[in-house]
Amino acid sequence: MSPIVQGLITIIVGVGGCVGYFFLSNLVLDKVIFPPRGDDAGRNINRANMVRPWLFLFPALFALGLYLVYPVIGSFVRSLYNRSGDEFIGFGNYTTMFAEEGFQTAFFNNFLWVIFVPAASTFLGLLVAQLTDRLSWGNIAKSLIFMPMAISFVGASLIWKFVYANDPDVGIINAIRFALGATQPLDVLQLSFWNNFFLMVILVWIQTGFAMVILSAALRGIPEETVEAAIIDGANPFQVFFKIKVPQIMGTIVVVWTTITILVLKVFDIVYAMTGGNFDTEILPSYMMDYMFRDDGRATAVAFVIMIIVLPVMIWNIQNARKEMR
Amino acid sequence: MKTTYLAGVAALALSAGMTHAAGHLEFAPGDGDFNWDSYNAFADANDLSGQTITVTGPWTGLDAENVEKVLAYFAEATGATINYSGSDSFEQDIVISARAGSAPNVAVFPQPGLAADMASQGLLTPLADGTSDWIAENYAAGQSWVDLATYAGQDGAESLYGFFYKVDVKSLVWYNPEAFDEAGYDIPETMEELKALTDQIVEDGGTPWCIGLGSGAATGWPATDWVEDMMLRTQSPDVYDQWVANEIPFNDPAVVAAIEEFGYFAKNDDYVNGGASAVANTDFRDSPTGLFSIPPECYMHRQASFIPTFFPEDSESDFFYFPAYAEQDLGQPVLGAGTLWAITNDSDASHALIEYLQTPIAHETWMALSGFLTPHSGVNTDLYATDTNKALGDVLLNATTFRFDGSDLMPGEIGAGAFWTGMVDYVTGTDAETVATGIQDRWSSMN
Amino acid sequence: MDNIAGTKSSLSIVTNLSVGFLVLLWLIPTIGLLVSSFRDRDQITESGWWRSFSAVEQTFRIRADTEDVRREGDLYVIEGNIFAADEFTEIEGNQLDTIAGFGGTSRDPQGTEPGETAELSRDRTLTVQENGDYRYTSPEEIDREPSIYFAAQTPPDFSLENYETIMNSDNMDRAFINTLTVTIPATIIPILIAAFAAYALAWMDFKGRGLLIALVVGLLVVPLQLALVPMLTLHNQIGIGQSYIGIWLAHTGFGLPLAIYLLRNYMVGLPRDIIESAKVDGATDFQVFTKIVLPLSFPALASFAIFQFLWTWNDLLVAKVFLPSNSESWVMTVKIADDLLGSRGGDWGILAAAAFISIAVPLIVFFTMQRYLVRGLLAGSVK
């Protein structure tokens, strides 16, 4: 029972603490340090407004700094040292890594993942969002497609192992092949190159629901007038969708795309559980896990390569954010 | 399809191992032919009331229950509280918790290589003085067990860090006596006969072997045992030792030949259940069930002594020694492995636990359960739960050469990494030479 | 109203069909596992789940009892009934009563029709009737119990056995409570912190705002594996160690970038005039935030809460690192991955049931919250 009590206390202390922090710090700022009274009233309001953002940001920045920035910097330094961490070797880890065939495979596969999974999930999510928009049973359909989001990667891998199983009495893929006249079972996870896509399908299956929920909300937010105007002008449904709706929700599409891309770069569970990185299906996060706790220099170097891959997406996002601010 | 099992097997298998010994001891002290004197003597000498010992190890399921039952005697004798936790990813967990400084008191290593690694980082505590003498005296082939557990510490000084308790014999072929009997097959005495039997079974329209390398993230390891066994059957033990220590390269012709010997069985579509392509992805726990299906999906399964835990409940099984070539004069080599108990978080009670493992009763209580072999020479071997276990003990005794599982001795990156994935590449098509060269490259890059 | 008259009906049929097809495609894998979780291990490998509602032909073996041997002239004979054999009476709830075929060797376990006589090696014979009566004859003395193989139709067998096995396994209830204890605070705390930060980044003017946004976006991609070991070491140094507090903080830290990113993107899209007019009226930022932005952002908060909940519930890695590795502190994912899967590798029924137990709560949360979620999303306006 004690963990429950402990949990309840934390919820109260944690949540109460957060609310209390934000409320009290504002109170102190407004009433005590820079009270908007007396001669300096105007100046004090301005000063308080300069400080306030940092009050709002402080807890987040503190947690981010501690849990993400500090390890990133520490790890970058670590990646410049050799496996036991006692000799500085500059970019030695990076150069040996890039020369290695296993890494090249992982890099190439990861490239496929980053292109295919976000594209397919976003596209399918958009498609479902649009199709279910005016459907009487649209919400039910959406819930069902969203459902895989609730399943852990380990659970999802299990579900798909079942689909891909070699035995035509277990795996539906092979059962269909047999029904169509095949005589030898086929292990799709061993089909070189294409097996990557069979693994990606799992993540697409999970993430389409996410894309759908967000994009569906965005579609509903489009002002009716713009759509009506287009219809009056004689646009067909496809034109309405691609020329009127999609451009208006571009911002949301970017968000969805980015979120899924980031997820792709972190997920190692699927590859780990389905193939253990065998049959040339290794991707960078699972490659990194191979070296984790064995050769930390190499493992951290892989992490930085992952971060560099997303750089274009990051820059795109930052530019977007800039545009909005203006 | 006609893949079938004995009726009721499933129901029993599912409920197997779910009963929990709630606090009481499996065999009441004083009953049976156990060495209760050793128990009483230990109980009198040690009082650890109020202390708690945490133990982590690789065992889950039935094995975890067994170890809990065995450790319950220690708790009963000393008054200490003892908690065992088993995890399928023990190798990762122990490194994480040791680095974090929250290691359990005692860890049970399935791989001496990992223990040596941790010892060199100062994460293990050397065992009490005199333990090595005790092992050398009381274990069969005692000195070799001492050597396997003696590592250099952080300061470079060598000391004994681990105590072997629970040993597995690996050079075994499991079969279903009923199926052998019906088909009129005899137990092969030599590798030549084994190969002839393999062909005979194919001729009779059957499939000789069940081989499965699947094991989640550890996929591939069963193949390393095959290769090691083949090394011992084609090369002298010295060459084996040089290979394990990387004194000869991994892509030495001797090693490549041993890999190809494994491929002789595993890469032949007629020889393995499901064809060669099924080998890589079939779960190793799943593959032996083919022995017991009706009609048999296969007749033989080469695996270590722990595998009956995964057989369908109630199934009749037997094993024979994985034979050596008659034409090679290499005697009767046996490949084995064992779990190593080491202290990861020092306390008096942890040392007492290691001391307890030296009493005959600690061995006998597990012998009487299942899946346990011991080199302890002072135990009553009549207590082995089954004749099979007793016969396994004989394999150990008849061995002219005993070698520890090589992949467990290699550095983790090779023995628990490159070697595994290399074997998967090999069974899925890459040739032995390329695979071996790849593994050697990884090994070279570590230095 | 958004369709051109005339194409409307055909378009709506196409829409209905294609949505139906997609939903079906999405459901098939899960349904397969769900159906399998109620079947027993034999039947799973015997026939695909899509055929699970029809009877399956299974092969069995019994042994004739040598105690019943009698002599008939030169022959040694055993007679009995298959369904009366010990092997059968032990099986719970078996409903077999008809033989489809039989045989005397495991190679050919069902090649002979009931009523006919199978000739076995060494002049032995075996006859089995459809009702299970058998007669085994041998010219020589019978020293070991002969095996009789037969095939019979087994009716579909659905049961909760797999679920019971898992629920009864040690510490499962404990794991469930542990998971809840980890999940709830780890969902609420980051949302609260992120909401304030997101507001500051969206609607407050200060130097370095662009830089901070860039930083948050950049931190999105940090593989959290990087942070595991350094953070754990830090937790140990400050005395938290492997504990719930540690894992709550860790989930908070790892969840923040996405929370801030999503919430800021949402808040930026809120109508500028409402916020600006409130400020003109003299509302402070704190008031604007709590009275206007927070209620308006509710849909985004709710959806992020759902995502963060699912993420922490399903997390394996963080739990393994930041919680002690003893069985009392295992959460459900660890329990399933490290304990259950390891010891029962090939047992599909158990694995399937384990998967469903672990997704039950997220599904319940999702299905109860989703109305709320969708309604919330409709009320807001996303740019």
pLDDT of residue B414: 87
Nearest to B417 by CA among B282, B219, B168: B219
* Token code pair at residue B175: 């079969």
Last residue of a domain, one of C126, C154, C182: C154
Query: What is the C-alpha end-to-end distance of chain B, expressed in Å?
Result: 53
For the record, the structure tokens of A4 come out as 């429950």
Residue C253 covered by a domain: yes
Does any domain span residue C5? no
The letter for the amino acid at B379 is: V
Instruction: Output the six-digit token pair for B410.
Output: 């290699």
Number of C-beta neighbours around residue A181 at 10 A: 6
Reading the block at residue A23, the tokens are: 């409320």
- What residues of B are in contact with residue C40 (Cβ under 8 Å)? 10-11, 14
Least confident of A126-135, B354-363, C39-48, C322-331: C39-48
Strands B150-152 and B158-160, how do they pair? Answer: antiparallel
Beta strands in chain C (DSSP E): 56-63, 70-72, 75-81, 101-103, 117-119, 125-128, 133-138, 147-154
Are A159 and C32 in contact (CB < 8 Å)?
yes
What is the reported pTM?
0.83
Percent of chain C with pLDDT over 70: 89
Distance of alpha carbon B367 from alpha carbon B382, whole angstroms: 9
pLDDT > 60? residue C91: no
Q: Which of B106, B86, B44, B13 is nearest to B353 (CA)?
A: B106
Selecting from B217, B277, B425 the residue whose C-beta is nearest the C-beta of A187 gives B277
First to last CA, chain C: 23
> C184 and C86: one domain?
no
> Is residue C80 in a domain?
yes
* Assigned domain for C50 exists: no
Residue C215 contacts residue A60 (beta carbons within 8 Å) = no
Same-domain check for residues C184 and C330: yes
C169 in the same domain as C145: no
Closest CA to B210 of B318, B91, B302: B302
Residue carrying structure tokens 């026939």: C47
CB contact under 8 A, C59 and B18: no
Name, in order, each residue with C-beta under 8 angstroms of B235's C-beta and a sequence gap of 6 or more: B243, B254, B258, B330
Q: Is the dihedral of CA B147, B149, B154, B159 positive or negative?
A: negative
* Same domain as C340, residue C285: yes
CB atoms A190 and B281 under 8 Å: yes
B156 with B67, same domain?
yes
Span C343-367, pLDDT tens digits: 655 577 777 888 788 778 887 877 7
Confidence category of residue C111, pLDDT binned at 50, 70, 90: confident
Asked if residue B295 has a cis previous peptide bond (ω within 30° of 0), the answer is: yes
pLDDT tens readout for residues A106-146: 999 998 999 999 999 999 999 998 888 778 888 888 888 88
Q: B6 or C178: which carries more pLDDT confidence?
A: C178
* A277 has a chain B CB within 8 A of its CB: yes
Classify residue B18: in a domain, yes or no: no
* Tokens encoding B313: 């409940």
Residue C246 sits in a domain whose CATH number is 1.10.3720.10
Instruction: Report how far residue B86's alpha carbon sits from residue C169's, in angstroms, rounded to the nearest whole number.
Output: 14
Asked whether the beta carbons of B173 and B185 are under 8 A apart, the reply is no
| pLDDT band at C237; cut points 50, 70, 90 | confident
C87 and C181 together in one domain = no
Q: How confident is the model at residue C256 (pLDDT cuts 50, 70, 90)?
A: very high
Please give the mean pLDDT across all residues of chain C: 79
Q: Per mean pLDDT, which of A277-281, B201-205, B392-396 is the most reliable?
A: B201-205
| Domain enclosing residue C236, as ranges | 163-379
The whole-chain average pLDDT of chain A stands at 84
| C181 lies in the same domain as C284 | yes
Q: What residues in C contact B85, CB-CB < 8 Å?
A: 325-327
Residue B9 lies in a domain: no
Helices and strands (H and E) in chain C: how many? 16, 8
Query: Residue C46 domain-assigned?
Result: no
In a domain, B19, yes or no: no
CA dist C118 → B182, B184, C82, C135, C248 (Å):
15, 19, 16, 10, 69
The pLDDT of residue B15:
34
Q: Say how far apart CA A268 and CA B221 lie, in whole Å.
A: 21
Residue B5 covered by a domain: no
B244 shares its domain with B264? yes
Please check whether residues B161 and B186 belong to one and the same domain: no
Distance CA A15, CA A77 (A): 36
3-state helix, strand, coil in chain B (%, to 5): 45, 15, 40
What is the model's pLDDT at position B23? 47
**pLDDT value, residue B432:** 93
In angstroms, the separation between the Cα of residue C269 and the nearest Cα of chain A is: 9
- B85, C169: Cβ pair inside 8 Å? no
Query: What's the pLDDT score for residue C14?
Result: 86
Query: Cβ of A50: how many Cβ atoms within 10 Å?
Result: 14
Q: Is C69 on the interface with A (CB under 8 A)?
A: no
B127 and B137, same structural domain? yes
CB contact under 8 A, B3 and A169: yes
Question: Would you call C243 exposed, middle or buried from its count of C-beta atoms within 10 A (0-12, 13-18, 19+)?
Answer: middle
CA–CA separation, B153 and B121 (whole Å): 7
pLDDT of residue B264: 94
As a whole number, mean pLDDT of residues C282-307 equals 83
Q: Do A74 and C265 touch (CB under 8 A)?
A: no
Q: Is the pLDDT of residue B2 over 50?
A: no
β-pair partners for B334: B402
User: A-chain residues within 8 Å CB-CB of C250?
Assistant: 67
Strands C147-154 and C133-138: what pairing?
Answer: unpaired
- If one compares A92 and C1, the residue with the highest pLDDT of the two is A92
Distance CA B407, CA B113 (A): 9
**Distance (Å) from the alpha carbon of C118 to chain B's nearest alpha carbon:** 15
Q: How far apart are CA C276 and CA C288, in angstroms?
A: 9
Number of residues that make up chain A: 326
Contact B61 C342 (CB under 8 A): yes
Same domain, residue pair B70 and B125: yes
Residue C326 lies in a domain: yes
Q: HSE of C28 in the Cβ direction (CA atoms, 13 Å)?
A: 16
Q: How many domains does chain C have?
A: 2
Shared domain for C176 and C253, answered yes or no, is: yes
Using a CB-CB cut-off of 8 Å, the residues of chain B touching C241 are 100-102
Residue C152: the pLDDT is 78
Q: Do B303 and B345 lie in a common domain?
A: no
For residue A256, give the nearest of C19, C373, C262, C308 by alpha carbon: C262
Residues B111 and B419: their CA atoms lie apart, in Å, by: 14
pLDDT over 50 (residue B7): no
Of A68-77, B151-160, B301-310, C105-114, the range with the lowest mean pLDDT is C105-114
* ipTM, two decimals: 0.81
Most confident region among C145-159, C299-313, C345-359 by mean pLDDT:
C299-313
pLDDT given for residue A113 in this prediction:
93
Q: How many helices (H) and strands (E) does chain A have?
A: 17, 0
Give domain status of residue B102, yes or no: yes
Q: What type of residue is B87?
A: S
**Torsion-angle region of residue B61: left (phi > 0), alpha (psi -120 to 50) or beta?**
left
Evaluate if residue C145 carries a pLDDT over 80: no
Is B77 contained in some domain?
Answer: yes
Which range of A263-267, A272-276, B303-307, C99-103 scores highest in mean pLDDT? It is B303-307
Taking CB atoms and an 8 Å limit, are A276 and B95 in contact across chains? no
What does the mean pLDDT of chain B come to?
A: 85
Which of A81-95, A311-325, B321-335, C247-261 is least confident? A311-325
Minimal-distance CA residue of chain C relative to A259: C258
Distance CA A129, CA A142 (A): 8
Are C135 and C208 found together in one domain? no
The answer to the question of residue C108 being in a domain is: yes
- Together in a domain, B413 and B390: no
pLDDT of residue B190: 92
At C2 the pLDDT is 47
Q: Are C341 and C212 in a shared domain? A: yes
**Helix (H) or strand (E) segment spanning residue C163:** helix C161-168
Domain housing B306: 172-335+404-445
What's the rounded mean pLDDT across residues B71-100?
Answer: 85
**In the block, which residue shows the tokens 């699927």?**
A270
Q: Distance between CA atoms of A95 and A92, rounded to whole angstroms?
A: 5
Confidence of residue B10 (pLDDT cuts 50, 70, 90): very low
Query: Does residue B178 sit in the same domain as residue B264?
Result: yes
Is there a single domain that holds both residue C140 and residue C253?
A: no
Q: Higher confidence at residue A111 or residue A38?
A: A111
Q: How far apart are CA C162 and CA C185, in angstroms?
A: 32
Distance (Å, whole) CA C106 – CA C59: 10
Last residue of a domain, one of C154, C188, C210: C154
The residue out of C154, C184, C200 marking a domain boundary is C154
Both tokens of residue C117? 């006589």
Compute the half-sphere exposure of residue C292: CA atoms within 13 Å on the CB side of its CA: 20
> Do C171 and C139 reside in the same domain of the chain?
no
* Ramachandran bin of C188, using left for φ above 0, alpha for ψ from -120 to 50, beta for the remaining angles: alpha
pLDDT of B330 = 82
Considering chain B, what percentage of its residues have pLDDT values greater than 70?
94
Q: Give the model's pLDDT for residue C319.
A: 87
**Confidence label for C204 from pLDDT (cuts 50, 70 and 90):** confident
Same domain, B71 and B203: no
Report pLDDT digits (tens) over B377-422. Answer: 888 888 888 888 888 877 876 777 788 899 988 887 788 888 998 9
Judged against a pLDDT cut of 50, whether residue B65 lies above it is answered with yes
Structural domain count of chain B: 2
What share of chain B in percent tops pLDDT 90? 33
Decide: B374 and B363 in contact? Cβ < 8 Å: yes
What is the percent of chain C where pLDDT is above 90? 4
Closest by Cα among A3, A125, A203, B374 to C184 = A3
* DSSP labels, A130-162: HHTTT-TTHHHHHHHHHGGGGS-HHHHHHHHHH
Q: How far is CA C43 from CA A192, B25, B50, B215, B265, in A?
A: 32, 37, 50, 23, 30
Residue type, A58: F
DSSP structural state of residue B214: B
Q: H-type helices in B358-417, by residue range?
A: 360-367, 387-398, 406-409, 412-413
Q: Give residue C174's pLDDT.
A: 83
pLDDT for the residue numbered B184: 84
Q: How far is residue B289's CA from residue B298's CA, in Å, rounded to a whole number? A: 9
Q: For residue B316, what are the contacts with CB-CB under 8 A and spacing of at least 6? A: B176, B177, B178
Q: In chain A, what residues touch C286 (CB-CB under 8 Å)?
A: 22-23, 26, 30, 52
Q: How far apart are CA A194 and CA A278, in angstroms?
A: 13
pLDDT recorded at residue B24: 66
Residue B165 is encoded by which pair of tokens?
């308790």
In a domain, C237, yes or no: yes
Q: Shortest CA distance to B43 belongs to which of B11, B77, B94?
A: B77
Which tokens hold the place of A51?
A: 């400080």
Which residues 6+ apart lie within 8 Å of B260 measured at CB? Answer: B432
**pLDDT of the residue at A262:** 83
On whether both C190 and C319 belong to a single domain, the answer is yes
Q: Which CATH number does the domain housing residue B144 bear?
A: 3.40.190.10
Q: What is the DSSP secondary structure assignment for residue C292, as one 8-state letter?
A: I
Q: Measured between beta carbons, which residues in chain C are less than 8 angstroms from residue A324?
A: 268
Q: Where are the alpha helices (DSSP H) in B149-213?
A: 177-183, 191-203
Half-sphere exposure in the Cβ direction for C315 (13 Å, CA): 30
- Bridge-based pairing of strands B401-404 and B333-343 is parallel
State both tokens at A206: 């999970």
